Amino acid sequence: MLPKEFQRKPVPKVSTLPYILLVVLFALIDITLGYLVYNSYLDQDGVYQADYVESTPDTSLTRISSSDLPQTSPSATFLEIEKIQTLADAFMQARLNRNLDQVEPYVTQDFLDKYSQSAFAGSSSPSLEDYEVVDIKYIRGNTYRILVQTNWLLNGDEAGSQDWTLIATKTKEGYRINDYSGE
């Protein structure tokens, strides 16, 4: 027999339950913080959060101020800008023709719900002569602001120019014009 000091003493069993609970608690805290940070990101840089107030076509876009927003998309590519340019050209050609049916493939359902043929066509005098896409700026959340300079005719004579703002938003089908206004 071995003397008492050399005999193995039984090791008390350590419960792993407190460690498992601690790991689960840390995981829940991490998931909760991640969710809160993600929602904060969406509120600031994701989707544009607007105050919902009743608006008319003339005033609906005046609430957007891009002076404090990033001017280029972090992921904007030349191809994406080209798509938006092509979209703006197609929209403006339909506007030149004063034809809401022609513009349907290039606009969102919200746009179609907001404008009737007569509201989209506008008055026949002065008439829209031509346009030039002046600037395309990233706003946020897959949304771009397109500045278009329009030239007008009144009785065959130049009647001046006006800047229009188009808002292009990415949908399942690609970029579509969501709204526009004259400034």
Q: Delineate the domains of the chain, giving CATH numbers in brackets.
A: 78-182 (3.10.450.50)
User: What is the reported pTM?
Assistant: 0.56
**Local confidence band at 47 (pLDDT 50, 70, 90 cut-offs):** very low
**Local confidence band at 183 (pLDDT 50, 70, 90 cut-offs):** low
Distance from C-alpha of 166 to C-alpha of 61, rounded to nearest angstrom: 9
DSSP output for 105-137: GGB-HHHHHH--HHHHH--SSSEEEEEEEEEEE
Which among 125, 170, 165, 124 has a CA at the least distance from the CA of 147? 165
- Please give the average per-residue pLDDT across 6-35, as a whole number: 89
